[in-house]
Structure formats: structure tokens, C-alpha cells
Homo-oligomer: A and B are copies of this chain.
Amino acid sequence: MPDPALLSINQLTTFEQWSLDQAIDGYARHGVPAIAVWREKLHEMGVAQAARKLKDAGMAVSGLCVCRVPVTTDAAVRREGLDDNRRQIDEAAAIGARCLVAVPVGMVDAAGMTIEDARARGLEAMAELLPHARGAGVVLGLEPLHPMMCATRSVLSSLEQANDWYEALGGGPELGITLDVYHVWWDPNLAREMRRAKGRIAVFHINDWLPDTSDTRVDRGMMGDGVIDIPSIRRMVEETGYTGHNEVEILSARTWWKRDPDEVVRIIKERYQTAV
């Protein structure tokens, strides 16, 4: 069983039900010690006010989501994207987030480019952001997303590729890897790449892959309801030296976004003990 003090809930899990203000209160009411914040919700509440409330509630912030790093060759779009990324780094610092989850965007935002080019430009953009992250004391947590999101969300598609990028960028305290079981559970190279990721994991996300899912975006499962061997992956993550939060991130239009959010949190706490 994982340490109850390391439970975190990503507010995407109660995205349809709760504002950030309500989520902080709601998670705290159930004794959940940490939260991950979604940027749109943060802006809705206001960064300063959110920072104050999080501090007053004594709630740790396992992450801020999600820094969408440009891959384009269009100079103006790229500059605008990187400027916004830097603002988000400052927001992460302001709320004391332990990491800012970062992804290079997908092929739909790379018109006219090959996938190799898009990836190369994404890596360059990451390199440009690191000094600002270092200055702000923020860890950029590169997240490989499931290959089914390569067109729409990110051209970073495997832990192997994230490890390659980590090494190409020279590592350092301001760089890490976000590992989500949903994105990597299928990977035949997972165990090998987890061994390679020693000291690199910035945050660990948990949820499940439902056997009957056919939606690529918002149909994740509660831990224990799917096919992922979460305890095995958690052990691999811990063997990298990771001692941070186990962050529950469930995007679920058909089930969990429709349920009473207090019930969702109660069930998360149960499953955290039995299925993680």
C-alpha cells in the first residue's frame, strides 16, 4: 500500500464539478494532503488568491498542468508560445508547485512539418525554457503522452523518448519526467526505460485503462477498474528513487465527472489503499 501522506488529486478529476476554490476545500475536507492544479481553473480563481488559499489550507501542490511547448517554425507563434510558457513557469513558482507538467504540442499544431522536425523543434523550445525554470526554481516535468495523442496533444510519445530528451537537455534540477500509468502501461520497453529514469521522475500520475474504452481523450478509469498493473509500475517508479506524490488524474466524461465529487474523493481514497 502506498503512503497515505503521498496521495494527491489532480483537479481534472473533479473538473466538471468543482472550481479550484471548491477543490481545495473539498480535498482538504477528506484529508487529502495535496492537489495538482489546472491552469484554466487557476486563472479563474486568480494566482495570488489561489496561492494564499493553498498555503492557508496547508495543501501541497504536486503539479501545475500543462505547459504546452510550441513545435512550430513560425517565429511569431513560437515566441508567443514561449512567452506564455514562461508566464506559466512563474505561476507554478507562485503556487509552490513541485513541478510544471510540460509537453511539446501535437502534429495538428505543426502544419507542414514532418514529425521528426516537430520533435526537433520541440526539444529546442524546451532548451530555451530551462534557464527561466532554473531562475524560478521550478521543475519542468516532461510528460510522454500516449501515442494516440500524437496528432492532437503531444509528439512526445514514450518514456524512451522522454529519457532521450532529458539527456539531450543535460538534465539538471529544473528538469524531470512526468510519468502517467495511462500513457505508458502498454510499452514493451517500460521496465528498461524506468531503470534508465533513475532520479528523473518529477511526478507520478495514476488512473486506469478501461477495457471497454473507445475514446482517446476523456474516458480514463478509476484505479482498479481497468487493465493496468498499477502496483508494478508504482514499484518501478519508487525504484528510481522517487519519493513524491501519487497523483490521481482521471478525465472521465462518462462516469466520474458526473458523480458527486465528495463520493469521487471517497472512492479514490479507498482505491488508493486497494489498487495502487
Residues of chain A having any CB pair with chain B under 8 Å: 107-108, 114-115, 119, 146-148, 150-152, 155, 157-158, 160-161, 164, 185-189, 209-217, 226-227, 229, 232
Closest to A147 in B: B186
Contact partner, A215, options B152, B161, B164, B214, Cβ 8 Å? B214
A213 to B185, alpha carbons, bound, how many Å?
22
CB-defined A-B contacts under 8 Å, sample of 26: A107-B211, A108-B211, A108-B227, A114-B229, A114-B232, A119-B188, A146-B147, A146-B148, A147-B148, A147-B186, A147-B187, A148-B148, A150-B186, A151-B210, A151-B211, A151-B213, A151-B226, A152-B211, A152-B212, A155-B186, A157-B186, A161-B188, A214-B216, A214-B217, A215-B215, A215-B216
Interface of A is mostly: loop
Q: Which residues does chain B contribute within 8 Å of A164, judged by CB atoms?
A: 188
A160 to B190, alpha carbons, bound, how many Å?
13
